[in-house]
Amino acid sequence: MDAWAERGACREPGIDPELFFPVSESAPQVAAAKVVCARCPVVARCLDWALRAGEPVGIWGGTTPEERRRARLLLNGALAGTQDVLLEHEEHDRHRNRHRHRGG
């Protein structure tokens, strides 16, 4: 992790780090951790890091492991869809360029 993590609301005095690593995803503990994340100045960077790192435990960027798993699935699906669109455009461009070179 980078220096951004030191600026996280979770690092403030009086915040118990264990709050962000619940033994179970009990609603009260998760909700309390998310309250801290909601006022955090680096919450977006934290979530980005957790998604890129595939962080399997804890509350990161205001999300639970299950929420991050679903987000990764959605992102991967969106990226796959984007890749399909890009491939279709490339194929279309190749086809169009072949016809131009033939004079048609």
Q: Which pLDDT tens digit goes with each residue over 33-92?
A: 999 999 999 999 999 999 999 999 999 999 999 999 999 888 877 666 665 655 666 666
Cβ contacts of residue 56 below 8 Å, gap of 6+? 65
Which pLDDT score, from 0 to 100, does residue 32 have? 96
Interval 26-49: pLDDT, tens: 789 999 999 999 999 999 999 999
Q: What is the pLDDT of residue 76?
A: 78
Break the chain down into helix, strand, coil percent, rounded to 5: 70, 0, 30
Instruction: Using a pLDDT cut of 70, give the percent of the chain over it.
Output: 73
Q: Tell me the longest C-alpha to C-alpha distance in the chain.
A: 74
The domain tally of the chain equals 1
Tell me which residue range forms the domain holding 79.
Answer: 3-101
Q: How far apart are CA 60 and CA 15, in angstroms?
A: 15
Place of tokens 């030191």: 6
Q: Residue 33: phi, psi to the nearest 5?
A: -65, -40
